[in-house]
A and B are shown apart, each in its own frame.
Chain A
Amino acid sequence: MKKTMFWSEKRRAYLLLVFPAVLIYWAVMAFPTIFSFVLSLTDYNGGPIFVRQAFSFVGFTNYLRMFQDKFFWISLKNNVFIMGISVFGQIPLGFLFAYVLHRKLVKFGDFVQTIVYLPSVISTIVIGRLWQLFFSPYGPLVTFMQKFKPGWYFSLANDPQLAIIPVLFVILWMYTGTYLIIFLANLQKIDPALIEAARIDGATEWQVLTKVILPALSGVIVTASILAISGSLKSFDLIYALTAGNPARRTSVLALYMYDYAFKHSPKYGLANAIAVVMVLLSLVLIGVVKITEGKFGGKE
């Protein structure tokens, strides 16, 4: 009898402690995910949803329409570019900075770290507007270049084909610091005695880097890649403030593409939710790929 009472108090405590967090989290994250799948099969375009004829089911029409839209593919391509600049730009650069700071190859390491991470703490809206002004006709880039080459001109809206490049540059600039912090924290976990022993055995710094440090960080590199890959689908705020996807929607990304369908002109919620579903699936696939790669090539931590 006493035992059951004990057990039930335990069970009640567990439920009460967990319930509020689970309720809010499921309402905010799980419910909309399922909701979006249902809506993606409809032609719902706003208004009260529980009335007769608020919407009708249209099967996979929204998906077909999306896959036939060239701006979907342009947006997806830009997400892939962002993934590329994250994995092959931010991660190596972040590692380089962390290594340089950890091994004290430059002076004022603390100062450099503070500066490189600084963009990550400033509002992306302020950053987006600041770089928009920086690249504007009155901005430093044009003014500076015109000193050497009168008549030189540049604008974010200049060339639709190349418009994504300044965006990628700002993204690289903004988030390299995050990887610097991650790599530095993990470099500091490597036992200095390990490196010392290798040095005493006559290993060069390069050998220490490739044979001791990089293998020890392989797990962290995988973690950083997961962050970078899943992060690349998150791009929204910065581009919204910097170019709003223009010129001619050439710098759009999936999140912005979805936003345009839901909030610009007359809402097309069915289509917007089809994009949402594709994005969720995409992020799950990407995470799965990284996990499998991780299992194959072993990342330990």
Chain B
Amino acid sequence: MENNKIKKSDFHPFIRFFVFLVVGIFTILTLYPLFWLALSSLKTTTEFMKNSMGWPLNPTLQNYPAAWERAQFTNLFINSLFFTVISTLAIIFLALMAGFAFAKIQSKATPFLHGSFIMGILLTLQSIMVPLFLAVNLVGLYNTRLGVLIPYVGMGLPIAIYLCTEYIRSIPDSVVDSARIDGASYFRIFLNIIVPMAKPVAVTLAILNVAGTWNEFMLINILVSSDALRTLPVGILKFTGTLVTDYGRMFAALNIGLIPMLIFYLLFRKQITKGVAAGAVKG
């Protein structure tokens, strides 16, 4: 193990300095804007215009309740939570079902159906946003919760099905076969054997989808126009766009939008990075 460590003399000091510099600059470039955002949210707009960089002279939290009320954050949070929880649960359940069928029940349809999902991993959703909007309109689901949930589930399925199929394939066939010989139906096997065994992949999917859906902006922005259905990203964008000069509340609103994901990230950092590495698959 000792041999595995780098001997300092191996790299030219200039290279080591350069590497250190790049890492340092990158770290500061991430921390500083966030720090500046937090500091600025504690200043009134008047103070910010005079003193945009420094420490707040009269730190105040007044921007937060003001921004919360004007941007209707209670409503935004409820909607974000609703879409995130429901679509994540639906994706996991549907992907486990299909993944089980693809992995453990032989069928001639599998290569085609499974392949169509794999195609979906690479298809850029951005390229179909206008046709999707028109399709949602066509079936009368514009401005409804269902009209948001169905696209969310559909776009989450490809990677979820890929991961579930891979995972369930790794469960030995004998587990399924012996249950079949004992007379268990496929649904019984799915609910009693596969679902409990697939917990790790379900956790990975939950984390990937929560992060993705919570931050989703493009679709909800075009599929919904009523205030009552808006989620955090749309609400924050509208709020910060209309109040170009009200810096205090703008910073507070951005911070309110940032904090939940920051906490989520710090809590589940290990699982998130694991999920990202697992999700970055070859198409």
Residues of A within 8 A of B (CB): 9-11, 13-14, 17-18, 20-22, 24-33, 35-36, 39, 49, 93, 96-97, 100, 103-106, 112-126, 129-131, 133-134, 138-140, 143-144, 173, 176, 178, 181-182, 184-186, 192, 195-196, 199-200, 204-206, 219, 222-224, 226-227, 230, 233-237, 240-241, 254-255, 258-259, 262-263, 269, 272-273, 275-276, 279-280, 283, 287, 301
Contact = CB atoms under 8 A, between A and B. Distances in A.
Given A124-B215, A182-B277, A236-B126, A200 B3 contact: yes
Contacts of B237: 125, 129, 240-241
Q: Give the interface residue-count category, chain B.
A: 35 or more
A11 B107 contact: yes
Contacts of B217: 123-125, 237, 240-241
| Top 8 closest pairs, chain A to chain B, by CB | A28-B154, A279-B127, A185-B277, A36-B131, A13-B186, A32-B131, A17-B101, A205-B10
Contacts of A31: 135
B117 A28 contact: no
Contact of A25 (B116, B187, B262, B280): B116
Contacts of B33: 130-131, 134, 140
Nearest to B214: A123
Nearest to B114: A18
A140 B94 contact: no
Given A125-B257, A144-B53, A287-B283, A17 B19 contact: no
19 contacts: A9-B185, A17-B98, A35-B131, A35-B134, A49-B134, A96-B22, A97-B26, A121-B265, A123-B236, A126-B258, A182-B277, A182-B280, A233-B124, A235-B126, A236-B129, A236-B218, A254-B126, A280-B127, A283-B127
Given A36-B130, A138-B52, A230-B124, A205 B6 contact: yes
Interface stretch (B65-73, B155-163, B195-203): B155-163
A199 B123 contact: no
A115 B4 contact: no
B239 to A, nearest CB: 10
A25 B154 contact: yes
Nearest to A12: B186
B94 A20 contact: yes
A126 B38 CA distance: 13
A32 B133 CA distance: 9
Contacts of A118: 30, 34, 262, 265
